[in-house]
Protein backbone atom coordinates (compact mmCIF):
# COMPACT_ATOMS: atom_id res chain seq x y z
CA UNK A 1 0.00 0.00 0.00
CA UNK A 2 1.11 3.53 -0.64
CA UNK A 3 1.83 4.80 2.88
CA UNK A 4 4.47 7.46 2.27
CA UNK A 5 2.01 10.32 2.06
CA UNK A 6 0.47 9.30 5.38
CA UNK A 7 3.85 9.27 7.09
CA UNK A 8 4.63 12.73 5.71
CA UNK A 9 1.31 14.13 6.92
CA UNK A 10 1.69 12.48 10.29
CA UNK A 11 5.18 13.88 10.79
CA UNK A 12 4.19 17.31 9.53
CA UNK A 13 1.27 17.81 11.87
CA UNK A 14 2.33 15.92 14.95
CA UNK A 15 6.03 16.52 15.31
CA UNK A 16 6.05 17.99 18.78
CA UNK A 17 6.44 21.76 18.62
CA UNK A 18 5.99 22.74 22.23
CA UNK A 19 8.05 25.92 21.86
CA UNK A 20 10.09 25.16 24.92
CA UNK A 21 10.68 28.33 26.87
CA UNK A 22 8.74 30.44 24.39
CA UNK A 23 6.92 33.51 25.60
CA UNK A 24 4.70 33.82 22.53
CA UNK A 25 1.06 34.13 23.54
CA UNK A 26 -0.19 31.61 21.00
CA UNK A 27 2.01 28.81 22.29
CA UNK A 28 1.57 26.50 25.25
CA UNK A 29 4.44 25.74 27.59
CA UNK A 30 5.62 22.39 28.85
CA UNK A 31 4.03 23.25 32.19
CA UNK A 32 0.69 23.89 30.47
CA UNK A 33 0.82 20.44 28.92
CA UNK A 34 1.83 18.82 32.17
CA UNK A 35 -1.01 20.46 34.09
CA UNK A 36 -3.47 19.44 31.37
CA UNK A 37 -2.35 15.81 31.34
CA UNK A 38 -1.46 14.95 34.93
CA UNK A 39 -5.04 14.33 36.10
CA UNK A 40 -6.10 12.69 32.85
CA UNK A 41 -3.53 9.92 32.46
CA UNK A 42 -4.50 6.31 33.16
CA UNK A 43 -2.51 3.11 33.47
CA UNK A 44 -3.80 0.45 31.07
CA UNK A 45 -4.12 -2.84 32.93
CA UNK A 46 -6.07 -5.49 31.05
CA UNK A 47 -5.85 -7.89 34.01
CA UNK A 48 -8.25 -5.82 36.09
CA UNK A 49 -11.46 -4.41 34.61
CA UNK A 50 -11.58 -1.57 37.14
CA UNK A 51 -8.58 0.10 35.46
CA UNK A 52 -10.39 0.16 32.12
CA UNK A 53 -13.60 1.37 33.76
CA UNK A 54 -11.60 4.23 35.29
CA UNK A 55 -10.37 5.36 31.87
CA UNK A 56 -13.87 5.75 30.50
CA UNK A 57 -15.81 6.62 33.66
CA UNK A 58 -16.63 10.12 32.37
CA UNK A 59 -17.37 8.85 28.87
CA UNK A 60 -20.66 6.99 28.46
CA UNK A 61 -19.51 4.39 25.96
CA UNK A 62 -23.10 3.28 25.50
CA UNK A 63 -23.50 6.44 23.41
CA UNK A 64 -20.95 5.25 20.84
CA UNK A 65 -21.47 2.85 17.96
CA UNK A 66 -17.94 3.08 16.53
CA UNK A 67 -14.63 3.16 18.43
CA UNK A 68 -11.44 3.27 16.36
CA UNK A 69 -7.81 3.15 17.45
CA UNK A 70 -5.14 4.59 15.12
CA UNK A 71 -1.93 2.55 14.98
CA UNK A 72 1.29 2.28 13.06
CA UNK A 73 1.15 -1.21 11.56
CA UNK A 74 3.25 -4.24 12.53
CA UNK A 75 4.08 -3.25 16.11
CA UNK A 76 3.56 -6.26 18.36
CA UNK A 77 1.64 -4.50 21.13
CA UNK A 78 -1.06 -3.45 18.66
CA UNK A 79 -2.50 -6.95 18.78
CA UNK A 80 -2.67 -6.90 22.58
CA UNK A 81 -4.57 -3.61 22.38
CA UNK A 82 -6.79 -5.01 19.66
CA UNK A 83 -7.79 -8.20 21.43
CA UNK A 84 -8.11 -6.83 24.95
CA UNK A 85 -10.06 -3.71 24.03
CA UNK A 86 -12.29 -5.74 21.70
CA UNK A 87 -13.04 -8.15 24.54
CA UNK A 88 -13.70 -5.29 26.97
CA UNK A 89 -16.02 -3.40 24.62
CA UNK A 90 -17.79 -6.61 23.64
CA UNK A 91 -18.41 -7.84 27.17
CA UNK A 92 -19.36 -4.49 28.66
CA UNK A 93 -20.89 -2.45 25.83
CA UNK A 94 -22.10 -5.03 23.28
CA UNK A 95 -19.67 -4.12 20.50
CA UNK A 96 -20.37 -7.09 18.26
CA UNK A 97 -18.33 -6.38 15.12
CA UNK A 98 -14.62 -5.95 14.50
CA UNK A 99 -14.25 -3.32 11.78
CA UNK A 100 -11.04 -4.11 9.92
CA UNK A 101 -8.78 -2.28 7.48
CA UNK A 102 -8.89 -5.33 5.22
CA UNK A 103 -10.74 -6.09 1.97
CA UNK A 104 -14.34 -7.26 2.01
CA UNK A 105 -13.30 -10.65 0.62
CA UNK A 106 -10.78 -11.23 3.41
CA UNK A 107 -13.40 -10.43 6.03
CA UNK A 108 -15.70 -12.96 4.36
CA UNK A 109 -12.98 -15.63 4.45
CA UNK A 110 -11.99 -14.86 8.04
CA UNK A 111 -15.63 -15.16 9.10
CA UNK A 112 -15.61 -18.61 7.48
CA UNK A 113 -12.56 -19.40 9.61
CA UNK A 114 -14.26 -18.08 12.76
CA UNK A 115 -17.19 -20.39 12.03
CA UNK A 116 -15.10 -23.47 11.29
CA UNK A 117 -11.59 -23.11 12.71
CA UNK A 118 -10.29 -24.37 9.36
CA UNK A 119 -6.60 -23.41 9.26
CA UNK A 120 -6.48 -23.85 5.49
CA UNK A 121 -8.39 -20.57 5.20
CA UNK A 122 -5.70 -18.69 7.12
CA UNK A 123 -3.00 -20.42 5.08
CA UNK A 124 -4.68 -19.21 1.90
CA UNK A 125 -4.77 -15.64 3.21
CA UNK A 126 -1.11 -15.83 4.29
CA UNK A 127 -0.06 -16.92 0.83
CA UNK A 128 -1.66 -13.95 -0.89
CA UNK A 129 -0.93 -11.22 1.67
CA UNK A 130 2.78 -11.92 2.09
CA UNK A 131 4.88 -8.73 2.02
CA UNK A 132 2.01 -6.65 3.39
CA UNK A 133 1.80 -5.29 6.94
CA UNK A 134 -0.96 -7.78 7.70
CA UNK A 135 1.05 -10.95 7.13
CA UNK A 136 2.72 -11.32 10.51
CA UNK A 137 2.55 -14.07 13.10
CA UNK A 138 0.68 -11.79 15.51
CA UNK A 139 -1.92 -10.98 12.86
CA UNK A 140 -2.93 -14.59 12.33
CA UNK A 141 -2.55 -15.56 15.97
CA UNK A 142 -5.05 -12.80 16.75
CA UNK A 143 -7.70 -14.54 14.65
CA UNK A 144 -6.93 -17.82 16.38
CA UNK A 145 -7.49 -16.15 19.75
CA UNK A 146 -10.72 -14.63 18.49
CA UNK A 147 -11.89 -18.04 17.27
CA UNK A 148 -11.30 -19.53 20.73
CA UNK A 149 -12.97 -16.55 22.39
CA UNK A 150 -16.03 -16.92 20.17
CA UNK A 151 -16.34 -20.60 21.01
CA UNK A 152 -17.21 -19.58 24.57
CA UNK A 153 -19.94 -17.18 23.42
CA UNK A 154 -23.53 -17.91 22.53
CA UNK A 155 -23.97 -18.00 18.74
CA UNK A 156 -25.83 -14.69 18.60
CA UNK A 157 -23.19 -13.01 20.79
CA UNK A 158 -20.16 -13.99 18.72
CA UNK A 159 -17.98 -11.30 17.18
CA UNK A 160 -17.85 -11.14 13.40
CA UNK A 161 -15.57 -9.26 11.02
CA UNK A 162 -16.50 -6.40 8.71
CA UNK A 163 -13.84 -5.42 6.16
CA UNK A 164 -14.14 -2.15 4.27
CA UNK A 165 -10.96 -1.92 2.18
CA UNK A 166 -10.65 -2.41 -1.57
CA UNK A 167 -9.39 -5.72 -2.96
CA UNK A 168 -5.63 -5.28 -2.81
CA UNK A 169 -5.17 -9.00 -3.57
CA UNK A 170 -7.56 -9.80 -6.46
CA UNK A 171 -6.71 -13.53 -6.48
CA UNK A 172 -7.88 -13.79 -2.87
CA UNK A 173 -11.03 -11.88 -3.80
CA UNK A 174 -11.75 -14.33 -6.62
CA UNK A 175 -11.30 -17.20 -4.15
CA UNK A 176 -13.92 -15.61 -1.90
CA UNK A 177 -16.28 -15.17 -4.85
CA UNK A 178 -15.83 -18.82 -5.74
CA UNK A 179 -16.60 -19.83 -2.15
CA UNK A 180 -19.91 -17.98 -2.45
CA UNK A 181 -20.93 -19.57 -5.73
CA UNK A 182 -19.28 -23.00 -5.89
CA UNK A 183 -22.11 -25.04 -4.35
CA UNK A 184 -24.89 -23.22 -6.18
CA UNK A 185 -26.79 -25.16 -8.84
CA UNK A 186 -29.01 -24.10 -11.76
CA UNK A 187 -27.12 -20.84 -12.23
CA UNK A 188 -28.24 -20.22 -15.81
CA UNK A 189 -26.27 -17.24 -17.15
CA UNK A 190 -24.30 -16.96 -13.90
CA UNK A 191 -22.76 -20.37 -14.59
CA UNK A 192 -20.21 -18.55 -16.77
CA UNK A 193 -18.97 -16.76 -13.65
CA UNK A 194 -18.52 -20.08 -11.89
CA UNK A 195 -16.52 -21.42 -14.85
CA UNK A 196 -14.27 -18.33 -14.91
CA UNK A 197 -13.58 -18.60 -11.20
CA UNK A 198 -12.98 -22.35 -11.33
CA UNK A 199 -10.30 -21.88 -13.98
CA UNK A 200 -8.43 -19.49 -11.71
CA UNK A 201 -9.05 -20.93 -8.25
CA UNK A 202 -8.90 -24.66 -9.04
CA UNK A 203 -6.69 -24.79 -12.13
CA UNK A 204 -4.55 -21.69 -11.71
CA UNK A 205 -5.42 -20.44 -15.19
CA UNK A 206 -5.54 -16.67 -15.56
CA UNK A 207 -4.93 -13.91 -18.05
CA UNK A 208 -1.97 -11.57 -17.81
CA UNK A 209 -4.45 -8.90 -16.74
CA UNK A 210 -5.62 -10.02 -13.29
CA UNK A 211 -8.61 -7.70 -13.55
CA UNK A 212 -9.99 -9.24 -16.74
CA UNK A 213 -12.06 -11.82 -14.82
CA UNK A 214 -13.74 -9.05 -12.82
CA UNK A 215 -14.48 -7.17 -16.03
CA UNK A 216 -16.09 -10.27 -17.53
CA UNK A 217 -18.02 -10.95 -14.32
CA UNK A 218 -19.23 -7.36 -14.26
CA UNK A 219 -21.03 -7.89 -17.57
CA UNK A 220 -22.68 -11.04 -16.20
CA UNK A 221 -23.83 -9.40 -12.97
CA UNK A 222 -25.83 -6.58 -14.54
CA UNK A 223 -29.25 -8.19 -13.96
CA UNK A 224 -29.62 -7.89 -10.19
CA UNK A 225 -33.19 -9.18 -10.06
CA UNK A 226 -32.24 -12.38 -11.85
CA UNK A 227 -29.03 -12.73 -9.83
CA UNK A 228 -30.87 -12.42 -6.53
CA UNK A 229 -33.41 -15.01 -7.64
CA UNK A 230 -30.59 -17.47 -8.43
CA UNK A 231 -28.24 -16.86 -5.50
CA UNK A 232 -30.43 -15.18 -2.93
CA UNK A 233 -30.19 -11.44 -2.26
CA UNK A 234 -27.42 -11.59 0.36
CA UNK A 235 -25.05 -13.82 -1.63
CA UNK A 236 -25.64 -12.04 -4.92
CA UNK A 237 -25.04 -8.59 -3.43
CA UNK A 238 -21.86 -9.79 -1.69
CA UNK A 239 -20.61 -11.39 -4.91
CA UNK A 240 -21.28 -8.18 -6.82
CA UNK A 241 -19.75 -5.98 -4.13
CA UNK A 242 -16.50 -7.96 -4.10
CA UNK A 243 -16.35 -7.86 -7.89
CA UNK A 244 -17.00 -4.10 -7.93
CA UNK A 245 -14.32 -3.73 -5.29
CA UNK A 246 -11.78 -5.52 -7.50
CA UNK A 247 -12.50 -3.05 -10.28
CA UNK A 248 -12.24 -0.17 -7.80
CA UNK A 249 -8.80 -1.47 -6.87
CA UNK A 250 -7.72 -1.28 -10.50
CA UNK A 251 -8.86 2.35 -10.60
CA UNK A 252 -7.13 3.09 -7.31
CA UNK A 253 -3.75 1.63 -8.27
CA UNK A 254 -3.92 3.50 -11.55
CA UNK A 255 -4.18 6.80 -9.65
CA UNK A 256 -1.31 9.24 -9.07
CA UNK A 257 0.40 8.98 -5.68
CA UNK A 258 -1.25 12.17 -4.43
CA UNK A 259 -4.71 10.81 -5.26
CA UNK A 260 -4.29 7.32 -3.85
CA UNK A 261 -5.16 7.90 -0.21
CA UNK A 262 -7.86 10.43 -1.00
CA UNK A 263 -9.67 7.92 -3.22
CA UNK A 264 -8.99 4.93 -1.01
CA UNK A 265 -10.57 6.41 2.11
CA UNK A 266 -13.68 7.42 0.18
CA UNK A 267 -13.94 3.93 -1.32
CA UNK A 268 -13.59 2.37 2.13
CA UNK A 269 -16.32 4.61 3.49
CA UNK A 270 -18.61 3.73 0.57
CA UNK A 271 -18.01 0.04 1.28
CA UNK A 272 -18.74 0.56 4.96
CA UNK A 273 -22.05 2.27 4.20
CA UNK A 274 -23.12 -0.65 2.02
CA UNK A 275 -22.18 -3.20 4.68
CA UNK A 276 -23.40 -1.23 7.68
CA UNK A 277 -26.34 -2.37 9.73
CA UNK A 278 -27.86 0.12 12.17
CA UNK A 279 -27.87 -2.54 14.87
CA UNK A 280 -24.11 -3.10 14.69
CA UNK A 281 -21.55 -1.62 17.05
CA UNK A 282 -18.00 -1.54 15.74
CA UNK A 283 -14.52 -1.55 17.23
CA UNK A 284 -11.37 -1.55 15.13
CA UNK A 285 -7.68 -0.70 14.92
CA UNK A 286 -6.71 1.05 11.68
CA UNK A 287 -3.72 2.92 10.33
CA UNK A 288 -3.41 6.21 12.23
CA UNK A 289 -4.50 8.57 9.44
CA UNK A 290 -7.75 6.70 8.79
CA UNK A 291 -9.18 7.30 12.29
CA UNK A 292 -8.90 11.10 12.23
CA UNK A 293 -12.36 12.61 12.29
CA UNK A 294 -11.63 15.79 10.37
CA UNK A 295 -10.02 16.88 7.13
CA UNK A 296 -6.25 17.36 7.27
CA UNK A 297 -4.25 19.08 4.54
CA UNK A 298 -7.05 18.60 2.03
CA UNK A 299 -7.39 14.86 2.73
CA UNK A 300 -10.53 13.33 4.19
CA UNK A 301 -9.77 10.28 6.35
CA UNK A 302 -12.14 7.33 6.60
CA UNK A 303 -13.41 8.41 10.05
CA UNK A 304 -14.12 11.94 8.83
CA UNK A 305 -16.68 10.58 6.38
CA UNK A 306 -18.31 8.65 9.22
CA UNK A 307 -18.29 11.76 11.43
CA UNK A 308 -20.00 13.75 8.68
CA UNK A 309 -22.78 11.17 8.49
CA UNK A 310 -25.69 12.34 10.65
CA UNK A 311 -26.31 8.80 11.86
CA UNK A 312 -22.82 8.69 13.40
CA UNK A 313 -21.85 12.33 13.96
CA UNK A 314 -21.88 12.00 17.76
CA UNK A 315 -21.40 8.23 17.96
CA UNK A 316 -17.77 7.77 16.91
CA UNK A 317 -14.74 7.88 19.20
CA UNK A 318 -11.14 7.98 17.95
CA UNK A 319 -8.06 6.98 19.96
CA UNK A 320 -4.53 7.57 18.68
CA UNK A 321 -1.34 5.71 19.59
CA UNK A 322 2.10 7.25 20.06
CA UNK A 323 5.10 4.92 20.08
CA UNK A 324 8.22 5.58 22.13
CA UNK A 325 11.32 3.48 21.43
CA UNK A 326 9.31 0.82 19.61
CA UNK A 327 9.97 -1.44 16.63
CA UNK A 328 7.85 -2.44 13.66
CA UNK A 329 8.24 -5.19 11.06
CA UNK A 330 9.03 -3.77 7.62
CA UNK A 331 7.46 -6.01 4.96
CA UNK A 332 9.59 -4.38 2.27
CA UNK A 333 12.68 -5.78 4.01
CA UNK A 334 11.37 -9.26 4.70
CA UNK A 335 9.85 -8.13 8.01
CA UNK A 336 13.13 -6.97 9.51
CA UNK A 337 12.51 -4.96 12.72
CA UNK A 338 13.01 -1.21 12.37
CA UNK A 339 12.62 1.57 14.90
CA UNK A 340 9.45 3.62 15.05
CA UNK A 341 8.85 6.66 17.21
CA UNK A 342 6.10 9.24 16.74
CA UNK A 343 6.14 11.55 19.74
CA UNK A 344 2.93 13.55 19.86
CA UNK A 345 2.56 14.58 23.49
CA UNK A 346 5.82 13.58 25.13
CA UNK A 347 7.39 16.18 27.40
CA UNK A 348 10.82 17.00 28.77
CA UNK A 349 12.07 14.44 31.26
CA UNK A 350 11.37 16.67 34.28
CA UNK A 351 7.65 16.60 33.47
CA UNK A 352 7.39 13.30 31.62
CA UNK A 353 8.93 11.30 34.45
CA UNK A 354 6.28 12.61 36.84
CA UNK A 355 3.49 11.83 34.38
CA UNK A 356 4.72 8.28 33.81
CA UNK A 357 5.36 7.35 37.43
CA UNK A 358 3.78 3.94 38.12
CA UNK A 359 2.21 3.88 34.63
CA UNK A 360 4.47 1.25 33.07
CA UNK A 361 4.88 0.99 29.30
CA UNK A 362 1.22 1.34 28.40
CA UNK A 363 -1.01 4.23 29.40
CA UNK A 364 -3.66 6.52 27.96
CA UNK A 365 -4.51 10.22 28.07
CA UNK A 366 -8.07 11.49 27.93
CA UNK A 367 -7.94 14.72 25.91
CA UNK A 368 -11.60 15.71 25.55
CA UNK A 369 -12.43 16.40 29.18
CA UNK A 370 -14.38 19.50 30.21
CA UNK A 371 -12.41 22.75 29.73
CA UNK A 372 -9.49 20.83 28.24
CA UNK A 373 -6.79 22.88 26.52
CA UNK A 374 -6.85 20.25 23.77
CA UNK A 375 -10.34 21.45 22.89
CA UNK A 376 -8.75 24.83 22.11
CA UNK A 377 -5.47 23.63 20.59
CA UNK A 378 -4.72 23.41 16.86
CA UNK A 379 -3.07 20.40 15.29
CA UNK A 380 0.38 21.97 15.65
CA UNK A 381 0.00 22.12 19.43
CA UNK A 382 -0.62 25.86 19.58
CA UNK A 383 -3.61 27.94 20.67
CA UNK A 384 -6.11 27.69 17.85
CA UNK A 385 -7.12 30.71 15.85
CA UNK A 386 -10.73 31.13 14.67
CA UNK A 387 -11.57 28.49 12.08
CA UNK A 388 -8.62 26.19 12.87
CA UNK A 389 -9.09 22.48 13.52
CA UNK A 390 -8.70 21.38 17.14
CA UNK A 391 -6.75 18.33 18.28
CA UNK A 392 -9.95 16.84 19.69
CA UNK A 393 -11.68 17.29 16.34
CA UNK A 394 -9.31 14.58 15.10
CA UNK A 395 -9.14 12.23 18.09
CA UNK A 396 -10.18 12.24 21.74
CA UNK A 397 -7.74 9.90 23.51
CA UNK A 398 -4.03 9.15 23.14
CA UNK A 399 -2.40 5.85 24.07
CA UNK A 400 1.34 5.79 24.78
CA UNK A 401 3.24 2.57 24.03
CA UNK A 402 6.85 2.20 25.14
CA UNK A 403 9.46 -0.41 24.19
CA UNK A 404 7.26 -2.72 22.14
CA UNK A 405 9.03 -5.19 19.85
CA UNK A 406 8.09 -5.58 16.21
CA UNK A 407 5.68 -8.18 14.96
CA UNK A 408 7.29 -11.43 13.87
CA UNK A 409 7.55 -12.69 10.32
CA UNK A 410 4.75 -15.17 9.73
CA UNK A 411 5.61 -18.84 10.11
CA UNK A 412 4.28 -20.61 7.03
CA UNK A 413 4.74 -24.01 8.66
CA UNK A 414 2.76 -23.26 11.79
CA UNK A 415 -0.72 -24.79 11.78
CA UNK A 416 -0.35 -25.80 8.14
CA UNK A 417 -2.29 -28.83 6.98
pLDDT, tens only, 77-95 = 999 999 999 999 999 999 9
**pLDDT at residue 11, rounded to an integer:** 44
* Residue 27 pLDDT: 86
Residue 407 belongs to a domain: no
Give the mean pLDDT of 5-20. Answer: 45
| Banded model confidence at residue 19, pLDDT cuts 50, 70, 90 | very low
Domain-embedded: residue 270: no
Q: What share of the chain is helix, strand, coil (3-state, %, to 5)?
A: 50, 15, 35
Amino acid 411: pLDDT: 87
The residues near 362 (Cβ < 8 Å, ≥ 6 apart) are: 43, 44, 77, 399, 400, 401, 402
Residue 410 lies inside a defined structural domain of this protein: no
Instruction: Give the domain extent around 236.
Output: 168-255
For residue 272, the model assigns a pLDDT of 98
How far is residue 48's CA from residue 80's CA, in Å, rounded to a whole number?
Answer: 15
* The pLDDT of residue 218 is above 50: yes
More confident call, 304 vs 24: 304
389 occurs within a structural domain: yes
Is the pLDDT score of 413 beyond 90?
no
Q: Residues 287, 215: one domain?
A: no
pLDDT, position 21? 43
The answer to the question of residue 272 being in a domain is no
pLDDT, greater one: 171 or 208: 171
Q: Mark whether 152 and 176 lie in a shared domain.
A: no
pTM > 0.75: yes or no: yes
Confidence of residue 258 (pLDDT cuts 50, 70, 90): confident
| Distance between CA atoms of residues 326 and 324, nearest Å | 6
Same domain, 181 and 112: no
Total domains, the chain: 2
Pairing of strands 336-340, 362-366: unpaired
What's phi and psi for 302, nearest 5 deg? -50, -50
State residue 181's pLDDT score: 96
Among the listed ranges 203-217, 233-247, 337-351, 368-382, which one has the minimum average pLDDT value?
203-217
Does residue 260 form part of some domain?
Answer: no
pLDDT of the residue at 305 = 98
Is 393 or 207 the better-scoring residue by pLDDT? 393
CA distances from 301 to 36, 99, 287 (A): 27, 15, 10
Q: What percent of the chain has pLDDT over 90?
A: 86
Contacts (Cβ under 8 Å, ≥6 apart) of 183: none
Q: Would you place residue 203 in the very low, low, confident or very high pLDDT band (cuts 50, 70, 90)?
A: confident
pLDDT score at 26: 64
The answer to whether position 409 is within a domain reads: no
Residue 164 has pLDDT above 60, yes or no: yes
Identify whether residues 28 and 147 lie together within a single domain: yes
pLDDT at position 57 is 94
Q: Mind listing the pLDDT tens digit for each residue in 129-156?
A: 999 999 999 999 999 999 999 999 999 9
In a domain, 226, yes or no: yes
**297-312 burial, b for 16+ CB within 10 Å, e for fewer?**
eebbbbbbbbbeeeeb
Amino acid sequence: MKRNILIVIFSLFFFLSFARGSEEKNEYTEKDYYEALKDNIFYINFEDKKYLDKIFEKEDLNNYNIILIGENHAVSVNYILKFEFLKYFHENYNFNHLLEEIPISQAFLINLYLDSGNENILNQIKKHTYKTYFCTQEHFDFYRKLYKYNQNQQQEKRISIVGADVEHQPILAYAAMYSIIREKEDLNSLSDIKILLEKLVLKGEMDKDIYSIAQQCDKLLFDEEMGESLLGKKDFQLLKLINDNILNCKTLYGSPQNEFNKKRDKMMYDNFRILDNDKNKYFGIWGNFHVWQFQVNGLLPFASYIKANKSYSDKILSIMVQYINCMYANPQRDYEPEKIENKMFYLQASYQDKLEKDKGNLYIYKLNYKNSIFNKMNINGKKAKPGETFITDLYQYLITVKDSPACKKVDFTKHSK
